A and B are shown apart, each in its own frame.
Chain A
């Protein structure tokens, strides 16, 4: 009679032996492949058409940028070799590096740069502001681009070197000629990896191969800037809709890198000696509770401030994120740890005192108008935020109605300015990645209800301060203006802020060279 171990061995041999051998495409493979579980499915490929972070990350794989942010959030030249500014600060001349080529072998020219920036400028918020202040953008010769401003504007390099969506990636002029509200169909870039269109299976697999002709900069890598060295021959993104399966695949060695494991999986992953779990994004994400400023009761700034007073960040983070090593409180509207981080006006949220909120609400004469909170049940963190807010507001004396829905329904409904009875809303929750709210120009901080973000805050002083930031010269001046912006945001109770939280990455011990950055990059990473 066969013993258990013997039977098990036999089963293993029968199943795994010949079948597993058959699974190997070849025994001796010189090609190195980084197998990645990305944070989302790459549904579309145009980083100007959509702001989806996964499409932004795809953009970084195959495109390059004129400037790129370093780890201190300073724009550094990337495709640009040299640049100069006229004495009046209105004319900017950029000269491209030698040897820049697209994946089809064509050289990158100034014409490509102009076309790409113009398309980006029609969709991106910072791009629109840059072009609103621009008199002309022209290709002087094949390698020289001249930007002439119509008036003083202090965020030229910050705009064309912005790190997150929409990133001003440089595409061939024929591609950039596409209507910015239509998707591109040609994915020729000049970045360190080449997109393999034939192998793309939406919802499953994306394959990139090393671009052999890419010439990296000499400087060491620093966030998005520096030399982009492709150290593997191939990068394969395989999307996993199921977090548990993704974790198991990493633990079994079937993948190398898991971009965004759920925080509650971290203990299991950390227990595996072959796996490292760490926070790679120094800025993390900022939780937001957004009010609809157009509808009662949140058309009253005092009511909004009363609601904010009840929001204790520790409670939100404990409910939605859990392990304290993955979150911290942050009462600055700009991410804590960034240059503009400050505490002006933040006493309204710092205490998280429900009794104070109750007293403040009583003074407003709140008439019991129900607060409709949209709860996206398919996104656990936002679902938890919604429930915590509901509880806090009820304790503070609000009438609250939580309406469960999926995120897709929420994104559609939040665009409605109608009364609640006609499909409107009072509150929803979201988060911004830290890099997106790093300065006052973020749309989240808009005080212009016509061109601003959902919720439609209105405050002239806020808009004046944001405009002042755009022309601020020195760092001190920028900090001072940022404090004014923050003061206005808390004064009008624009949004509640729920804490700063961090998504860890997890990877096997054979993966080396990760870059600390708010965006996940795949250059500089090797697989041993």
Chain B
């Protein structure tokens, strides 16, 4: 196990190097130039050239790349071209809302979706099953921003029981304000994951319920609840956990939209703003950061298999 973890951690190094190279080249080859954005409408070509010079963008790409990598090795993700703030500080300012939104979304999705999927599987073909599947298909189909606006209209503008926008930190402002502000974004973002996880749970549980050991358990006279909870659900967990892992990766895309709709100052909006302004250090830093998170989550998911299924060994 230790050897496996070590190998997995080491294997992230070439992946991260490739990501860094890819991101750097993609940004430099894409049209657009932060110097021209900074210079604005009044600038002459000479002004733009001078700003490029100051930003180090006139240097050959190879020089720029090694300068960036050199700093990266020392833990320096660079400095935002526009704000002049270190990228690590900008990520630090934004990481909390995004991570907590992701966490509440996954928690909410799992708490709602696993029971729904299990019940649907247990009553496969029933009206309840069809309702759950209808909800699942709808959850996939409604764009995040549309759902966000509908929820804002209903709960904020009409019922006036939840705020339209904003984020309050649970660490500085308390749990109450945090939950008050995070409820609608969480529900908005989690619907698609509830749909995804519920479908996967249903399919997986149905498959397990047809296994011989379930028939044996029934023959031994165990109650349906015990069979479902002790035998079926646990054996169905591996594909469900895999889907949750994939879901976290999908979450990053949803976070960008949700943070914009609910005006949450998180990493998703930071990415969007940086791309539009061509703030290279921020884009590079964030993509590396997201890549690292993605690799880390996948590792955690792989390791969780050993807990869920004792037959799996690394």
Enumerate chain A interface residues (CB-CB to B < 8 A): 8, 11-12, 15-16, 18-23, 25, 41, 43-45, 49-52, 123-125, 165-166, 179, 181-183, 185, 201-205, 238, 240-242, 244-246, 248-249, 251-252, 254, 378, 405-409, 411-415, 417, 430, 432, 436, 443, 451-454
B32 touches A16 (CB 8 A): no
B window 28-45: CB within 8 A of A: 31-45
B32 touches A409 (CB 8 A): yes
- Interface residue SS majority, chain B: helix
With a cutoff of 8 Å between Cβ atoms, the chain A residues found around residue B231 in the complex are: none
B260 touches A181 (CB 8 A): no
Closest partner residue, chain B, to A44 (CB atom): B82
With a cutoff of 8 Å between Cβ atoms, the chain A residues found around residue B40 in the complex are: 50-52, 165
A50 touches B38 (CB 8 A): yes
In the assembled complex, the CB of B147 is this many whole angstroms from the nearest CB of chain A, namely 13
Cα A110 to Cα B19 with chains together (Å)? 53
Cα A195 to Cα B43 with chains together (Å)? 27
Cα A430 to Cα B33 with chains together (Å)? 18
B164 touches A245 (CB 8 A): yes
Q: Count B interface residues, CB 8 Å.
A: 64
Cα A479 to Cα B274 with chains together (Å)? 44
Cα A252 to Cα B162 with chains together (Å)? 10
In the assembled complex, the CB of B279 is this many whole angstroms from the nearest CB of chain A, namely 8
Cα A378 to Cα B278 with chains together (Å)? 14
- Given contacts A408-B276, A430-B41, A18 and B176 within 8 Å (CB-CB): yes
A240 touches B32 (CB 8 A): no
| Stretch of B5-13, B99-107, B167-175, B300-308 lying at the A interface | B167-175
Cα A417 to Cα B46 with chains together (Å)? 12
A408 touches B152 (CB 8 A): no
B161 touches A11 (CB 8 A): yes
| Stretch of B207-215, B236-244, B265-273, B288-296 lying at the A interface | B265-273
B263 CB-CB contact with A under 8 Å? yes
Q: Could you jot down 19 A-B contacts, CB within 8 Å?
A: A11-B159, A12-B160, A15-B183, A16-B161, A22-B177, A44-B38, A44-B83, A50-B40, A52-B40, A165-B40, A181-B50, A202-B82, A204-B269, A240-B165, A248-B156, A249-B263, A254-B164, A406-B32, A408-B33
Q: Identify which of A44, A166, A181, A252 contacts B157 (C-beta below 8 A).
A: A252
A181 touches B54 (CB 8 A): yes
Cα A447 to Cα B31 with chains together (Å)? 29
A406 touches B276 (CB 8 A): yes
B128 CB-CB contact with A under 8 Å? no
In the assembled complex, the CB of A362 is this many whole angstroms from the nearest CB of chain B, namely 34
With a cutoff of 8 Å between Cβ atoms, the chain A residues found around residue B54 in the complex are: 179, 181-182
B226 CB-CB contact with A under 8 Å? no
With a cutoff of 8 Å between Cβ atoms, the chain A residues found around residue B277 in the complex are: 43, 408
With a cutoff of 8 Å between Cβ atoms, the chain B residues found around residue A185 in the complex are: 84
In the assembled complex, the CB of B227 is this many whole angstroms from the nearest CB of chain A, namely 35
Sample of 12 further A-B pairs with CB below 8 A, known A43-B277, A181-B54: A15-B162, A15-B183, A202-B85, A202-B90, A238-B263, A240-B165, A378-B276, A406-B276, A412-B32, A412-B36, A414-B36, A443-B42
B80 CB-CB contact with A under 8 Å? yes
- Given contacts A242-B263, A406-B276, A417-B45, A248 and B165 within 8 Å (CB-CB): yes
With a cutoff of 8 Å between Cβ atoms, the chain A residues found around residue B39 in the complex are: 50-51, 411
B157 touches A251 (CB 8 A): yes
With a cutoff of 8 Å between Cβ atoms, the chain A residues found around residue B168 in the complex are: 23
Of B34, B44, B265, B269, most A-chain CB atoms within 10 Å: B44
In the assembled complex, the CB of A244 is this many whole angstroms from the nearest CB of chain B, namely 7
| CB-CB nearest 9 A-B residue pairs | A22-B176, A204-B265, A51-B40, A19-B180, A412-B33, A23-B177, A43-B82, A411-B36, A408-B32
Q: Identify which of B156, B163, B183, B273 contacts A203 (C-beta below 8 A).
A: B273
A248 touches B37 (CB 8 A): no
A245 touches B165 (CB 8 A): yes
Of B48, B54, B93, B164, most A-chain CB atoms within 10 Å: B164
In the assembled complex, the CB of B258 is this many whole angstroms from the nearest CB of chain A, namely 11
Cα A104 to Cα B85 with chains together (Å)? 22
With a cutoff of 8 Å between Cβ atoms, the chain A residues found around residue B249 in the complex are: none
B278 touches A415 (CB 8 A): no
Cα A246 to Cα B149 with chains together (Å)? 12
Cα A415 to Cα B49 with chains together (Å)? 10
Cα A278 to Cα B84 with chains together (Å)? 36
Of A166, A201, A251, A417, most B-chain CB atoms within 10 Å: A201
Of B40, B54, B168, B174, most A-chain CB atoms within 10 Å: B40
In the assembled complex, the CB of A414 is this many whole angstroms from the nearest CB of chain B, namely 8
A242 touches B83 (CB 8 A): no
A125 touches B42 (CB 8 A): yes
A252 touches B164 (CB 8 A): yes
- Given contacts A202-B83, A245-B165, A252-B164, A240 and B176 within 8 Å (CB-CB): no
A248 touches B33 (CB 8 A): no
With a cutoff of 8 Å between Cβ atoms, the chain A residues found around residue B281 in the complex are: none
In the assembled complex, the CB of A334 is this many whole angstroms from the nearest CB of chain B, namely 17
With a cutoff of 8 Å between Cβ atoms, the chain A residues found around residue B32 in the complex are: 406, 408-409, 411-412
In the assembled complex, the CB of B55 is this many whole angstroms from the nearest CB of chain A, namely 9
B133 CB-CB contact with A under 8 Å? no
